[in-house]
Copies of this chain bind each other. A is one copy, B any other.
Amino acid sequence: MGELQQKGQLAKEASYQLAVMTTEEKNKGLLAMADALETAMDDVMAANALDMDAAKANGKPQAFLDRLLLNESRIKDMADGLRAVAELPDPVGHVEEMWLNKDTLQIGKVAVPLGVIGMIYEARPNVTADAAALCLKSGNAVMLRGSGDAIHSNKKIAAVLSAAAEQAGIPAGAIQLVEDTSRETANEMMRLNEYLDVLIPRGGAGLIQNVVKNATVPVIETGVGNCHIYVDETADMQMAVYIIMNGKVQRPGVCNATESLLVHRNIAEKLLPMAAEQLLNAGVELRGCPETMQYISQCSQATVEDYATEFHSLILSVKVVDSMDEAILHIRKYGTKHSEVIVTNDYTNARKFQQMVDAAVVYVNASSRFSDGFQFGFGAEIGISTQKLHARGPMGLKALTSYKYIVNGEGQVRK
């Protein structure tokens, strides 16, 4: 039996026990995991050093190295993250509705764990601890498949967490790392319907599309964000510049950063130079339509490709539009249904934009950077869903649950 079959079976077994554990039992596990991670800090850093050396030898870029690196403060953050998850309310067992049907059967809709969750992710070893914590708290077993580039870090972290959890009474198999990081094994995992109830990919567009195309296990698609700001004719110009700057500059490498600016023709002449001044000062490269280039001298011509790109860096595409309708059509064509923003003071347009734009989060007069489980007040985030099935937008613990109906009768049968 292969690694996946073996671990899948164990995870499935564990999931039945996890589903009926009390909040206190699960929290005990989380706190033990946090302590163990801090105790093992030197070992984790030593393992991480092996990954860092290999990555440097392979000439990986600085941003990659930065995501891969674990140091004392980051490991402390991971441990604190585990403790924070212990503090969150347990989503399991919540009765969303309960009613009597016409036969006086009492029917209740009760939140239950999904079962076994598969996570496929890139070289960010902190995801290993984050995902383990969120899955455990929501009563799910988890099979973690991180990138080969982080395999030493992941093995060490997973070993520390699962040993600590087991010692604290969490069933063996609740937290497992897939150690074979080959593409074949990843593909096999995507079709492990017998054991996995859901698959959550976290990473770049390539990884996510690969999972969506190959998986037969139900997938929650996450994270690709080609987010727009449309500045309407009636917008407060200062507010618009403030929101554009925050969306583009505050943290350009993440999925809720703003990638594209659409400006109503009637204010383009005034707004674009104002925005450009601050954007250029912050080192942002501008790629615009011919009309944009009239108002901003330091702006190259945008291609269709530019409008379709999630830059993840200090580049902004810009387009002048005739109307809000044109902006909505542009977003429909190029957007990824993640987060979209209108800046306006027109009540009708604000409402219409929110109704017509098909995205997980649609903002009026606020930065796209708020699309985040913590900012939304969920206390945690397993990812940001860009699909419509099951969960949409920032996903907290509740997104890791399903429900069952419990029906209480006294002998009713169907007529």
A409 smallest CB distance to B (angstroms): 3
**Chain B, residue nearest A93 (CB):** B355
| Interface contact A363-B115, CB-CB below 8 Å | no
Please give the count of copies of this chain that the complex contains. Answer: 2
Minimum C-beta distance from A233 to chain B (A): 17
A313 at the interface (CB under 8 A from B): no
CB-CB under 8 A from A215, the residues of chain B are: 216
- Give the interface residue-count category, chain A: 35 or more
A selection of 7 A-B contacts at a CB cut-off of 8 Å is: A215-B216, A218-B218, A359-B404, A361-B405, A361-B406, A365-B412, A366-B412
> Is A270 at the interface (CB under 8 A from chain B)?
no
> DSSP class of A's interface residues: helix, strand, loop or mixed?
mixed
How close is A392's CB to chain B, nearest CB, in angstroms?
6
CB neighbors of B among A314-370 (8 A):
332, 350, 354-356, 358-367, 369-370
How long is the Cα–Cα vector from A239 to B246 in the complex, in angstroms?
66
Q: What sequence of 0s and 1s flags, for each residue 115-158 of chain A, a beta carbon within 8 Å of any chain B beta carbon?
A: 10000000000000000000000000000000000000000000
A interface list, Cβ under 8 A from B: 16, 19-20, 99, 101-103, 105, 107, 112, 114-115, 193, 197-198, 212-213, 215-216, 218-220, 236, 239, 242-243, 245-247, 250, 332, 350, 354-356, 358-367, 369-370, 375-377, 387-390, 392-394, 402-414
State which of B101, B198, B375, B404 has its C-beta within 8 Å of the C-beta of A360. Answer: B404
Known A101-B377, A365-B410: A115·B392 in contact at CB below 8 Å: no
